[in-house]
Structure formats: C-alpha cells, structure tokens
Amino acid sequence: MRAVDQWEAIRTNLPEGWEEARVSFVVEEASAVPAAAAVLAPLGPGRTGNELRFHVRHSGTGSPQAVTNLLGRLDRKRIWGTLGLVDTKSAAPAAGERRPVTQRLAEAWDAALEQLPPDWSDLLCELELDSSDYVPRAALLGAPLNPTRVPGEIALRFRASGKQGYGASPGMARRSLERMDAERITGRLTVLHALSDTENAVTQGPVWRIAGRSV
C-alpha cells in the first residue's frame, strides 16, 4: 500500500481533539533509508535502523497536508515502507474540564521493573519528555544515569544494570526519576531492550547498535 494511502487511513482514525501525532515509517530496504530521510527532512525525523519517526501537528509546521505531500513524494520515488501511529497528544482541556492523571516517572519505573524477569541484568531505557523545555533540567537531574539525547526526539536514553558493569543501579534510576517528579517533569518511560543473566568478560557490559551507532 502506498504511504499516502496508509497515512489517510491513520488520519481518519485519529481521536477527536488530537493536537499532535507521532508517526513511524519503517523503510522496506535499508539502502533506501537515507533517501527517505531526505524526503521527510522538513519534519525533522529521528532514525533508528530502518525506522524513521516524525511528528504531525494539527496545524502549523508538520500539518497533515504537509505530511500528505511529503509521503506522496516517497510514493513517486518508489520508496516503500510501513506507516504506523505511535501515539497522539490531545489539545489542552477547556477550563473546568478534568485533566487526565499522568503517571509519575518513579511509579512508571516501578511498573517497568515489575514486567521484567527476576534475573534481568541490563536495560536500555528511553524517557520521552512531554516538552522540550524539560530536556535540560531532566538531563541535569538524571546526570547519575549518564543520559544521552535521542536525535530528532524530545527524549533521553540511559542504561541500567541489575548486577554489575556499566549502567545505573535500579535504586539510583528511581531516585533520579523521583527528583524529576518533584519538579513536575512529565513524560513516558520505556524499556527498549532488556538482557538477563549476562556475564561481563573483559567488558563493562553489553553494547547495543541503534542506527549504526553503539550505545
């Protein structure tokens, strides 16, 4: 299916009152990823392997029509792939309307650990922040985690270790997230990769390759 047709299917099913949507385009052929990124450059896509992610806004830069036009260019260049909706953000509620409860980051960390096997040893985590204004302060409060910026995203990545080697301890990660909670920094925490019962042999820990880079 053409990228434009996939986008129209996603667009018609967006929730009422949506303000921003995060969309993923997974390119079929790795060799075509640079060309796809060049076409989508006006949207500032982030890349992980064959996947490109970008934001669509209800109005202004990155509008639905702008996305339709760019995806049409992908189709004309015969750059094929799979388009998917990652998540959406709704407009701020009107005065008097109840706001949804946002899970605190420390609680999200506890919930993430509960889903892991008891012998987990190494994690690669991503903290997607709700505002670019949070990035500098979150990076400072999370300095013990040695976080890194995610290209093209309002997000930080960090490693955690349940045994030894490179990565913050679970307790240190929770304390850093608690400090962010105390300053009302909000976002979503995701465990991208998890390993169990690893043994470090002449190394500080495992290495993950994302978008051709070691992390």
DSSP calls for 48-74? ETTEEEEEEESSSTT-HHHHHHHHHHH
pLDDT of residue 100: 45
Output the CA torsion 54→58→60→62 (10° steps): 20
Which CATH architecture describes the domain 105-198? 2-Layer Sandwich (3.30)
Query: Higher model confidence: residue 75 or residue 202?
Result: 75
pLDDT class of 61 with cuts at 50, 70, 90: low
Is the pLDDT at 103 greater than 80, yes or no? no
**In the CATH hierarchy, which fold is given to the domain comprising 3-90?**
Alpha-Beta Plaits (3.30.70)
| pLDDT, mean of residues 95-106 | 63
* Range picked from 62-66, 96-100, 105-109, 196-200 for highest mean pLDDT: 105-109
How high does pLDDT run on average in the chain? 85
| pLDDT, mean of residues 93-105 | 59
Position 130, amino acid: D
pLDDT class of 26 with cuts at 50, 70, 90: very high
Residue 160 has φ and ψ, to the nearest 5°, of -135, 145
| pLDDT, mean of residues 171-179 | 95
Report the residue count for the chain.
215
Is the pLDDT at 209 greater than 80, yes or no? no
Q: Where are the domains of the chain?
A: 3-90, 105-198
**Cβ neighbours for 85, distance < 8 A, ≥ 6 positions apart:** 10, 13, 14, 21, 22, 23, 24
Whether 105-198 and 3-90 are alike in CATH topology: the answer is yes
pLDDT class of 99 with cuts at 50, 70, 90: very low
Instruction: Indicate the angle between helix axes 105-114 and 170-182, nearest 10 degrees.
Output: 150
Is the pLDDT at 66 greater than 70, yes or no? yes
